[in-house]
Structure 1
């Protein structure tokens, strides 16, 4: 950005002209305030970032077309599409298939983070980070819920593992490919780096960084668990499930089937061929036809309904008119005028009367031990019924029930489509990683296929999009635009690199740190494109090899850990992990400097200055 452009910007902004403030300085001050607001207040990140965009528009620093460009940015639209893809995998039960095979059933935070990071880093070295994290977020959410480990302990490690793994190969992240392209343009095709050239630096950085993240997750990340227990909810439901014929659970123990790990749920009894097994051992092996009597809170009952191979013990569920994927769970409180008070659920012929099936019953904290069909209804009983969503509307004004409310995201999954959705996702990741299609096109095709094949409903697709994250991403792009158009980014780079003097090593450190700073403020690819010319010019000025500087730009532009806006995957896990901006600073800033140290020490050894 030259002086003439800066003056024209100042003239175009009456407010800044009146105050006599340089647009670049104004933007840097605004960015500082944004960071402070995100770090030390509880204001939602999207509100803080949108407020900064409003200020940039009001002061004339950005034109509306540039300020709003983030709303049509391909990266933001891609994240929105990936929310839909993730929902499709979750709604078919594909998440369980992925989670069990990748993560198993760890019992501690340490083992969970370790099991999470190793496969993620390995996959990320060869696959695009963004779709990989999009694929794993639902699986990690499921792991968090079933193993009673706070999502806040797992989501940042997921993002960091993907970032660290991406630094190990040339194709691990798009940033490396951007720098590779710039290098070929500057020095010719003979300067092209090999697939594993960066691995000399990336692998040690991933190993050291991974060890740090595992311990940081245990001791530095917050425990914001929304743990479910029977004490949290006075409604303790009794629910009866059956091991279906050809169920994958048959032949597994209670422990191996994952039926001991649903929070707030207790397996009270197994009915096997007319005989009851009480005080069920975790090593008890399940058989086809076993009827399992559980007691627990509504969230765990919903999760129980999603386990492949378990079905409600009543055959009435399969006689309802609406297909199962179109149904949901609805809570209904029995009134004293209900005609079925004093009758058992079986005698009441509930399905025939309401076109709904009772799958669980709660009674004022009392633990019910009867089978569902044998429970005698009393006024005040809370019934969990499976029905078409229209049941809630039809019965809301009925005298038969005091209260009727739908349970969100409680539709039974279409398990028969689980492997189909996983195959779609794997195909998308591979095609995108090998540049056959763009991430946006691949995501659109997969999302459309899921909707067409009824893996996901239109309503579910709409509900899956996290608008807070999308607005934050769009506003972050606008801040990046402001840094670029005012020349604030180049101002930072010029001043920082001039401090290094004639020392190649100090110059390498400064190039790395400035690239890292720009990455945290704008985006990884923009930082790489901005800092590459500075890196090459610094090497030419000092008369040394450009390779250590190129490696430093690759690593620094990819390894942005200290802010959620520094790397796209950091923003993707912000909401699911329930994080605050300060969480990234606390865990990510030491990691930033750790990777900086590893890179600046190893790069000159592997790629000598002379």
Structure 2
């Protein structure tokens, strides 16, 4: 092992540790890694930046715009609402939901599908008195499985496709990955619908749980005539930055003031609603003129009025709020919302709300003002998982069907090799912008720049592994372990290592790291590289056993009230099914 290989391995291990322990956002970790390789001379500037012009990465960016245009029309969720009907049986309901979801995910980005369907499913489960935890993990799994059916089904497929083209090889055809993955998708959905859902818990949603234990979350103090700060602002009364407490709302006769601003005036008779560490409320009781109302039947529903709503949201992987304290992110003014509680791994974080540092997957319970709906349209910081009063989905069905028709037409042209995938998406996006199905502002917002940065940086890191000889070194080690047991063992080891990586880091990063290793292994074994590349492509998407490996799993983590072990129980059998089916198909038809 040369010094350069040792250095690249050391940096790679540091990168993996940073991703596993969530030190900072994943895209920033990969950017730092790429920067180290440039500064150390492992990569030239040209090699490092090649990923920013890669065909796969650019296609992903354009597909974000296409998905946004179709999503805002409401076509997909309209279909699901009609299919749900009455919940005669969980199995039948799962079948009716997961089948179209899988189909949608084969041509649309799976993240917005899960974000759109989660509140619909939760509302339907509430109406049918069924636990949503029986449906949300299956929803995530169906979108992951559906993404393996076509070239554009998931960013992972396009990333590997782009790397094949960069390496001077022929990229995937539109349905090539699906030919290998279809049996895995079929048997995987069969397992989830017939058996898997039984392994999932019967949890109540966060909103119901908090409502039942409202006294642990909120407390009420009434302002008397002897309060020394009558007719002063909240800031002037010293109620803005309290130790352990957060002023979420003021009830004033028939009026409810929420979110509370620092300039809000305190008046006699006001009922001050606090959240946070309710055990510290005793300090406020010592202030003259504030009286604790222990006999009030205060519930979360009482906090709502015509202008406010209670909303659950999940912090995204790429949020600008990550690793910041809530009070430092100006949350209240930025989103017109106050945070009532933060749950992590199904447990409430018992701390002053403003002092909580947010992490990916945190479930937030918010009391939102009238401008909340408008402000979240401009943000990708979190996913709203409860229905909003004013849906962001437009009712222009004709434009939605027009978008879908254009997408299907482009897919036909790509399948017939008339257009490349990138050219087809360029034409499609230009047409959507020209007929104003989507505005330039909406197109820019839909791009998910942190995701694109992560993918572009990952390409450079893959180049470093290949050019430094690190990929060859790791490939030799894997072959040494598996070759004595035959080609099936080599395929299995490659698949397992990729799958393990994708369960603990992002799927695109796992695919990029394993791509050069798979190419080297194929050359050493004297086998066509495409067979090994297909194995790592599907393995990188097949993240079922943890909530952190795939973004859709993280989205449903909080809303479903799941524990980490819930993913392990239902996910490991599904991982085995997908792995065995994939390896069988590759060994039978590609090796």
- Using structure 2 for the length normalisation, give the TM-score: 0.52
Say whether the 8 Å CA contact 1:57–1:64 is kept in structure 2.
Answer: yes
Residue 508, structure 1, aligned to residue 488, structure 2 = yes
Deviation of the 1:454 alpha carbon: 2.1
Q: Distance in 1 between matches of 2:490 and 2:514?
A: 14
Q: Distance in 2 between matches of 1:607 and 1:563?
A: 24
| CA shift digits 1:428-485 (9 cap, x unpaired) | 3333344332333222222222222222222222222222222222222222222112
Q: How far apart are residue 92 of structure 1 and its match?
A: 3.0
- Of the three residues 521, 527, 534, the one matched with 1:554 is 534
Aligned length, in residue pairs: 403
Distance 1:458 1:198 in 2: 33
Q: CA deviation at 1:553?
A: 5.5
1:430 aligns to 2:405 (yes or no): no
Question: Which residue number corresponds to residue 313 of structure 1?
Answer: none
Corresponding residue for residue 455 of structure 2: 473
Partners of 2:397 and 2:249 in 1: how far apart?
A: 31
Q: Tell me how far apart the structure 2 counterparts of residues 409 and 481 of structure 1 sit (CA, whole Å).
A: 44
Residues 1:157 and 2:138 aligned together: no
Would the alpha carbon gap of residues 442 and 600 (structure 1) be closer, same or farther in structure 2, given more than 3 Å must change?
closer
Shift of 1:489: 1.4
For residues 58 and 562 of structure 1, do their structure 2 counterparts lie closer, same or farther at Cα, with a shift above 3 Å needed? farther
Change (3 A) 1:96 1:553: closer
Distance of 1:413 and 1:475 partners within structure 2: 38
Partner of 1:145: 119
CA distance in 1, matches of 2:200, 2:42: 39
1:450 matched to 2:450: no
**Could you say if the C-alpha distance between residues 477 and 558 of structure 1 is closer, same or farther in structure 2, counting changes exceeding 3 Å?**
same
> Alpha carbons of 1:108 and 1:475: their partners in 2 closer, same or farther (altered >3 Å)?
farther
For residues 95-120 of structure 1, give each alpha carbon's deviation from its aligned partner in whole angstroms, at most 9, with x where no partner exists: 43454477778799876764454345
Distance 1:26 1:553 in 2: 26
Q: Is contact 2:144-2:542 (8 Å) kept?
A: no
C-alpha separation in 2, matches of 1:224 and 1:72: 46
* Separation in 1, partners of 2:202, 2:465: 32
2:8 equivalent to 1:34: no
The 5 Å alignment of 1:355-366 reads: none
Corresponding residue number in structure 1 for 2:497: 517
CA deviations 1:527-582 (Å, max 9, x no partner) are 567636744753x6xxxxx79x9756634442324669xxxxx86757866899x9
Matched, 1:460 2:447: no
Looking at structure 2, the residues matched to 515 and 204 of structure 1 have their Cα atoms a distance apart, in angstroms, of 17
Name which one, 1 or 2, has greater alpha-carbon Rg.
Answer: 1
Cα distance between partner residues in 1 of 2:306 and 2:89 = 23
Structure 1 residue 24 and structure 2 residue 5: aligned?
yes
Structure 1 pair 424–41 and aligned structure 2 pair: CA distance change class (3 A): same
Whole-Å separation in 1 of the counterparts to 2:141 and 2:100 = 12
CA change 1:23–1:222 in 2 (3 A) is farther
2-structure distance, mates of 1:556, 1:501: 18
Cα pair 1:515 1:527 within 8 Å, conserved = no
Residues 411, 500 of structure 1: alpha-carbon distance in 2 compared, 3 angstrom cutoff: closer
Paired residues of 2:531 and 2:590 also in contact (CA < 8 A): no
In the alignment, what sits opposite 1:206? 185
Shift of the 584–34 alpha-carbon distance from structure 1 to 2, 3 Å rule, reads farther
Q: Secondary structure at the match of 2:43?
A: coil
Alignment of 1:213-224 (within 5 A): none
- Please give the alpha-carbon distance, in whole angstroms, between the structure 2 residues aligned to 1:145 and 1:511: 40
> Matches of residues 194-273 of structure 1 in structure 2 within 5 Å?
202=181, 204-211=183-190
CA shift, 1:178, in A, is: 11
* 140 and 43 in structure 1: CA distance in 2 versus 1, 3 angstrom threshold: same
Matched, 1:73 2:54: yes
Deviations 1:108-150 (A, max 9, x none): 98767644543455678xxxx4xx132x544442221122258
User: Which residue does 1:133 correspond to in 2?
Assistant: 108
2:403 aligned residue: 421
In 2, Cα distance between the equivalents of 1:196 and 1:79? 18
Aligned twin of 2:380: none
**1:106–1:147 CA contact under 8 A, matched in 2:** no
Instruction: Give me the whole-angstrom Cα distance separating, in 1, the residues matched to 2:163 and 2:64.
Output: 29
In the aligned structure 2, how far is the partner of 1:173 from the partner of 1:384? 40
TM-score by length of 1: 0.50
Instruction: Please tell me whether the aligned partners of residues 102 and 116 of structure 1 are also in contact (alpha carbons under 8 angstroms).
Output: yes
- The residue that corresponds to 2:40 in the other structure is 59
Stretches of structure 2 lacking an aligned partner (at least 5 in a row): 123-131, 219-247, 255-303, 312-334, 337-367, 376-388, 503-508
For the structure 1 residues 607 and 445, does the alpha-carbon distance in structure 2 shift closer, same or farther, using more than 3 Å as the test?
Answer: closer
In 2, Cα distance between the equivalents of 1:514 and 1:104? 44
Contact 2:462 2:515 in 1 (8 A): no
Between stretches 76-85 and 108-117, larger displacement belongs to 108-117
Q: Which structure 1 segments of 5+ residues have no match? A: 1-5, 7-20, 187-192, 238-293, 302-329, 332-381, 390-406, 541-545, 565-569
Quick check: 2:57–2:452 contact (8 Å CA) kept in 1?
yes
